[in-house]
Amino acid sequence: MAYQLSAALMGLAATVVSAQEQQSGPFALHVKGTNPNSTIDGYGGSCHAGAAISGLCYSVLSDTTDLPNTFQYWFNYTGFQQVGDAEVGTLTWNQPYTDGEGNPASVSQAMGLVYQTTSNVAAPLFGFSQEVFLIGFDSEKELFGYSYIDDAKFVAGQQPPTAPKASYQWAVCWQYFTGYFYQSVAWIQAGAPHNPTCEPVEITQVNL
Ligand SMILES: *[C@@H]1O[C@H](CO)[C@@H](O)[C@H](O)[C@H]1NC(C)=O
Ligand SMILES: *[C@@H]1O[C@H](CO)[C@@H](O)[C@H](O)[C@H]1NC(C)=O
């Protein structure tokens, strides 16, 4: 019986692991300002924000052929979670490092959000945190953030209904990462951004 149970659990674990493994990419992330006069028109790229931690920086590129690894992203999804027809998953990139034998290697890292205590502007960061930000790409290939609870609709004492939702609250802002100050992609949690350097943007997947 104990054997059957652990075999069943292993079967379940194997299902979960293989379900995690669906991946599309690589692609680039086109970042474009949505204000009528915005001059923001560039790409998202990984930038150093600590040991094996990267932000999602904004860069203007004159040439988008042969984009380096820092501009290449993937979409990892399980196939178990959707908003409408769009899969929900994580945005990943391959963080390069040098392995124990001195050879170049890379490790896949998923994007999470880092929150500031006194701001509504959160910074996407790639690192080893288990806290990932669930995202997806809609039918127009536009990047959305996923949520399933809306606390603006809470009623005291009543269990709220879940409502899977795609939101587009991206901005490009000057953001501070423990010593580094970068113009980079941000997620505005609600309302107008607290950081006055933020400009709203849309982010679109561009196949490489
Ligand atoms: C993303 O999926 C690929 C392919 O299955 C896998 O090798 C990689 O480890 C995944 N990345 C993360 C951060 O889970
Ligand atoms: C856009 O720029 C033009 C020229 O500088 C200006 O007249 C106009 O008011 C601006 N529009 C907005 C929405 O900022």
Cα separation, 208 vs 206, whole angstroms:
6
Give the DSSP H/E element, type plus range, for residue 16.
helix 2-20
Query: What residues of the chain score a pLDDT lower than 50?
Result: 1-17
Q: Which atom of ligand 2 is nearest to the CA of 37?
A: 1
Q: Residues near 108 by Cβ (< 8 Å), separated by ≥ 6?
A: 74, 76, 92, 93, 94, 95
Please give the pLDDT value at position 20: 54
Ligand 1 center–CA 128 separation, angstroms: 12
Instruction: Indicate whether residue 76 lines ligand 1 (CB < 6 A).
Output: yes
Please give the pLDDT value at position 136: 98
- Best of 18, 20, 128 for a ligand 1 pocket test (most atoms within 8 Å of beta carbon): 20
Please give the pLDDT value at position 72: 97
Please give the pLDDT value at position 12: 43
Residues with CB under 6 A from ligand 2: 36-37
